[in-house]
A = this chain, B = another copy of it.
Amino acid sequence: MPTLVMKFGGTSVADPERIRRAARRVAEAKADGHQVAVVVSAMGHTTDELIGLAGKVAREPARRELDALMSTGEAVSAALTAMALEDQGLRARSLNAFQCAMRTDGGHGRARLEGVDADGLHRMLEQGVIPVVTGFQGIAASGDITTLGRGGSDTTAVAIAAALAVQRDGGCCEIYTDVDGVHTADPRLVPDAPKLGAITYDEMLELAAMGAGVMHARAVVFGQRHGVPIHVRHSQRPEPGTMIQRETPHMESIAVIGCALKTDLGRVHLQGLPRTAGVQAQVFSAIASRGLIVDDIIQTEGANAVDLAFTVEHGDLPEVKTAVGEVLQRLGSGRIDLEIGLAKVSAVGTGMRSHAGVASRMFQVLGDAGVPIRNITTSEIRISCLVPQEHGERSLRLVHEAFGLALGERVTLQRQLGTV
């Protein structure tokens, strides 16, 4: 009897009717012979509404209390979902973070899961009772309630699945959401981008980092570490979605599995930095200390000076400029140039490791189309090109087409790649 952890996101439990639909979905899985545990997010926009309330009682709400406040959203969904399940004739019990000993480190608003009462969950499953666990939250050693940050309920679900070792009996963690799975590109930008049946953890992580918003990276990392297959699927449709899983030999035969576009990027160019040791550390620790994230760092070195370039999100540019300006003043040399209106188009695929010519094909198609490439970065399974934002969506479609990702074309691509 395979075990499923079924996680329903905010839109899937947004109102009583959807909660009842989710309960029917669980009832079907039970009827199919699965053992089921459920994880729920807060209903619809509850979390934002609670944060709004907090902003009305305090100028700067205490983080401990903000976590305690937000955690109530999932407690409401869990109780309602358990009720709906019992109304379907099933046995169910809502469990908050205290009740299933969901332990975290102490970081408020960004806590990390450390463990859960797996024995208690196993006992409930053996008794035919469906545990309905509040996502997004845990309890620190101090007894304080902590939350995991945005997308944290996915991490909770994967952690529960890992604790139950669902993969051992052929089970998985199902993420029910408002999209039907992971596509070869964002279907809003590339309408003929087909849904992928399967994708590796690494590919999903690269796509997520490059702007594909289906799954939160932390949940995928957690799944990878514990070998939990993650099935992303639509909560209102019956057909399977996308399985995020370990690499299989079949996957390696595909060079590029998907592509993504990240927009609203800015580029910072530092020229004429002194060639003293530690100059890079000074620059990036000044940025990191403000919680800002940089990407695509490139360094070029001349005889007497160092040039550094990196990208940041548009909205972070002013703060980055302040942080770096202070460093330049301290160093007594160097100047800063900012460029805005950039986008990054990326091609991702585990098979890239064994297929030559992927990069050259990508540069070729962008070049032929007259798209200027401002920067290139790669990982073992990803190639990214920074391009002017006005060329972003067109570039994504060109790359999608170049690697034959549209419906039914992929096989052709493999032959083509063999000849490049």
Residues in chain A within 8 A of chain B (CB atoms): 16-17, 19-20, 23, 50, 53-54, 56-62, 64-66, 68-69, 71-72, 75-76, 78-84, 86-87, 92-94, 96, 98-99, 143, 145
Contacts and interface: CB of A to CB of B under 8 A. Distances in A.
25 contacts: A16-B56, A19-B57, A20-B57, A53-B76, A54-B79, A54-B83, A58-B83, A58-B87, A60-B87, A61-B83, A62-B82, A62-B83, A65-B80, A65-B93, A68-B82, A69-B75, A69-B76, A69-B80, A72-B72, A72-B76, A72-B79, A96-B145, A98-B98, A98-B143, A99-B143
B69 A79 contact: yes
A143 B66 CA distance: 24
Given A58-B84, A84-B57, A79 B65 contact: yes
A80 B80 CA distance: 23
A48 to B, nearest CB: 14
Contacts of A56: 16-17
Contact of A80 (B53, B60, B64, B99): B53
A58 B86 contact: yes
B87 A59 contact: yes
A69 to B, nearest CB: 4
A63 to B, nearest CB: 10
Q: Which among A19, A72, A81, A83 has the greatest number of chain B C-beta atoms within 10 A?
A: A83
Contacts of A78: 68
Given A57-B84, A83-B57, A94 B76 contact: no
A244 to B, nearest CB: 30
A16 B78 CA distance: 26
A54 to B, nearest CB: 6
A82 B94 contact: no
A58 B90 CA distance: 12
Nearest to A17: B56
